Structure 1
């Protein structure tokens, strides 16, 4: 896996029904570009609700159907609780940081 096959989305602020459509659109653009792995960085996210989670699940299913991956990193406590309550923490690969992701994934090659 090379660095160029990984596309990164940096999210900011609140991910809710008002902003999840934009997230969905950004994810779809990366899927269309043929990214093998889409890394969603939650470093600057303060809150996410179920509509944001829905956008991620939809992208996850689309990518998996195309034999690609959606992975997450830098998830804060509030977002982590949302993933745990919905058992999505068992579905998504979640890394502590981009560095941890790169060490784990890029070292597999």
Structure 2
């Protein structure tokens, strides 16, 4: 099951200058065998509305392919942005990669 997960790990600021690169990376992975796309935010220090827009677009695109996009390791700034925009209700957010892995393993065993 773990081989059916693709990890996307943006770095630095996810803003207007990095959003196109993020969207391209997600698009390039859509044809893979992956069923789950994990966006690991551990190296993202800041995200603005452009980054959030790119993330929402990626979520919709991945869902159109009948795949799933989940998130882990968001910092306080990103968490607050998610809460203010209601995106914390849209995205499945894991505290870190270990929590995601445990969840994946428990789903595979059930």
Q: How many equivalent residue pairs? A: 108
In the TM superposition, what whole-angstrom CA distance separates every residue of 1:50-108 from its partner, at most 9, and x where no partner exists? 11111111111111122210000000000011111110000000000011001012321
- TM-score w.r.t. the length of structure 2 is 0.94
Aligned to 2:107: 108
Gaps of 5+ in 2: none
Unmatched tracts of structure 1, length 5 or more:
none
Runs of 4+, deviation exceeding 3 Å: none
What is the TM-score with the length of structure 1 in the denominator?
Answer: 0.94
Q: How does 1:18-97 map to 2 (within 5 A)?
A: 18-97=17-96
The SS at the match of 1:64 is helix
Q: Could you say what the CA RMSD is over the residues aligned between the two structures, in angstroms?
A: 0.9
Which structure shows the bigger proportion of residues in strand conformation?
1
1:32 deviates by 2.3
